[in-house]
Amino acid sequence: MRPSVSFVRVFAACLLMLGSIGSAAALDYPTRPVRWVVPYTPGGGTDITARIMAQWLSERLGQQFVIENKPGAGNNIGTETVVHSPPDGYTLLLVNPANAINATLYPKLSFNFLRDIVPVGGVMRVPNVMEVNPDVPAKTVAEFIAYAKANPGKVNWATSGNGTSVHLSGELFKLMTGVQMANIPYKGSAPALTDLIAGTLQVIFDNMPPSLPHIRSGKLRALAVTTAMRSDALPDVPTVAETVPGYEASAFYGMGVPKGTPPEIIDKLNNEINAALADPNVKARLADLGGMLIAGSPADFGKLVAAETEKWAKVIKDGGVSLE
């Protein structure tokens, strides 16, 4: 039996009302504290970036954006937490290079990052920096390559976990130079840098933000930055590519949310991120970390993540990189 015209009209009106309620709720967002999951320990580049942005969002939107550090499994524990959270805008992910890398590096993930996390907006890109303990005799990339080849099995290389840009930057270096280094994974940059400063390790290709204070104080020696161009934060430090032509790697930071999050909430968060990146104080704080800002739309950030996923898939496959 066909539904009556009056029933159809009432049903349509109910749908419109529900849509209006949803839009109103999104406009009122947030009405309670928001947790922003950072898949690493406190003190690393992802954590520092998230805390700067969370302070801005808390002040602008009137609710606390609380950083929740969930390290482990090369970033996957924190990411999986967000994937399986309600898509209501109250659980966010600090998106970072490991999300692009792990899509290939981990063959049996319980999620598909490009499908299950929706991009909100980019914050910044930063170089990684190749740095050594001052007791290592090498003062240039060329000298380090010679040192590593002359001391096989004696160079310990720190990473902030398998699948991070810190890890893959070193893997790319090994692939392009033929040096052998023992990978010592940590749950984040902070503990890795502590051991590097103590002399337990020889080298790291770390995200620039947590490393800059140690480089500037002389506790660590920067040999090179990993981007194609030199960094304004370390203008006298050459690029790896000046010694190893074609070498390029960088970290990126941004925000993502679970698939199904209302577009009105995504747009509101994106607008606030872009407003933060236009604020002189926030810009100065991020620039001091060596960051190059990447304001834009959710689609812009999604394209960046997709391109990075494709790039690192090739490095992993060509280099035979595995977790074993």
Q: What is the DSSP string of 98-149?
A: HHHHHHHH-TT-SS-HHHHEEEEEEEEEEEEEEEE-TTS---SHHHHHHHHH
43, part of any domain: yes
Distance of CA 127 to CAs 165, 170, 240, 255, Å?
10, 13, 11, 19
Grouping H, G, I as helix, E, B as strand and the rest as coil, residue 36 is strand
Give the pLDDT of residue 162: 76
User: Measured between alpha carbons, how far is 175 from 10 in angstroms, rounded to an integer?
Assistant: 65
270, part of any domain: yes
Residue 233 sits in the same domain as residue 264:
no
Grouping H, G, I as helix, E, B as strand and the rest as coil, residue 293 is strand
209, part of any domain: yes
User: Measured between alpha carbons, how far is 93 from 115 in angstroms, rounded to an integer?
Assistant: 14
How does pLDDT run across 54-104, given as a tens digit for each residue? 999 999 999 999 999 999 888 999 999 999 999 999 999 999 999 999 999
Whichever domain contains 156, its CATH number is 3.40.190.10
Give the pLDDT of residue 261: 98
Give the pLDDT of residue 16: 54
Residue 52 sits in the same domain as residue 115:
yes
Show the low-confidence residues of the chain (pLDDT under 50): 1, 3, 5, 7-8, 11, 14-15, 18, 20-22
User: Measured between alpha carbons, how far is 188 from 181 in angstroms, rounded to an integer?
Assistant: 19
Residue 51 sits in the same domain as residue 145:
no
Give the pLDDT of residue 321: 85
Give the pLDDT of residue 163: 74
216, part of any domain: yes
Residue 102 sits in the same domain as residue 177:
no
Residue 65 sits in the same domain as residue 101:
yes
172, part of any domain: yes
Structure tokens at 203: 């080298």
Residue 143 sits in the same domain as residue 221:
yes
Last residue of a domain, one of 242, 260, 284: 242
4, part of any domain: no
Whichever domain contains 71, its CATH number is 3.40.190.150
Instruction: Please report which residue ranges of the chain form alpha helices under DSSP H.
Output: 5-28, 45-61, 76-83, 97-105, 113-116, 141-150, 165-177, 189-198, 208-217, 263-278, 280-288, 298-319
Give the pLDDT of residue 20: 45
Residue 114 sits in the same domain as residue 133:
no
Give the pLDDT of residue 24: 52
Structural domains counted in the chain:
2
What residues make up the domain containing 169? 127-242
Give the pLDDT of residue 191: 92
Give the pLDDT of residue 26: 66
Give the pLDDT of residue 27: 72
Residue where the block lists tokens 């947790």: 35
Last residue of a domain, one of 204, 221, 242: 242
171, part of any domain: yes
26, part of any domain: no
